């Protein structure tokens, strides 16, 4: 029994489930189910986390620009899709990104950046989520 429990905690887990609200520790799993979706966990394939973090950093950098111009780049990282839009407002262009994960037939959607909020507020959240993910990775080593 101890061997089975130890094996389930190993680094060979297929997915990492990140809490969208950054309130709970990430969960490592080999399988996805609807419970994770309703607990507001966003699944990312473990092998794709470095690329996922790079995309988040690109988005954070774009959100931190003083003046947002031009179209946004959409990204695909494993089973995760980043879809961005620019909304022109009187106070300047606002960025909106929706994250969608479709792994193992479980579709999870997360509003990463909401154009209703300022780009600075969205940048703060994305940078905080990056720190949360990096912290999770350090704890799992």
What whole-number distance in Å separates Cα of residue 11 and Cα of residue 16?
A: 10
pTM to 2 decimals? 0.87
**Which of the four pLDDT bands, split at 50, 70 and 90, describes residue 141?**
low
Domain residues of the chain, as ranges? Answer: 2-140
Tens-digit pLDDT profile for residues 76-85 = 999 999 999 9
Q: Which of 133, 105, 106 is nearest to 27 (CA)?
A: 133
Q: Residue 2: pLDDT above 60?
A: no
Q: How far apart are CA 77 and CA 53, in angstroms?
A: 10
């Amino acid at each position: 029994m101890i061997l089975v429990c130890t094996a389930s905690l190993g680094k060979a887990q297929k997915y990492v489930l990140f809490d969208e609200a950054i309130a709970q520790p990430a969960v490592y799993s080999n399988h996805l189910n609807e419970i994770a979706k309703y607990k507001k966990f966003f699944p990312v394939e473990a092998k794709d986390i470095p690329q996922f973090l790079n995309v988040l950093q690109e988005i954070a950098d774009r959100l931190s620009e003083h003046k947002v111009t031009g179209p946004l780049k959409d990204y695909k990282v494993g089973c995760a899709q980043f879809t961005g839009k620019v909304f022109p407002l009187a106070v300047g262009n606002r960025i909106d990104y929706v994250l969608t994960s479709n792994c193992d037939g479980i579709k999870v959607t997360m509003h990463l950046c909401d154009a209703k909020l300022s780009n600075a507020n969205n940048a703060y959240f994305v940078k905080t989520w990056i720190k949360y993910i990096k912290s999770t990775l350090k704890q799992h080593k």
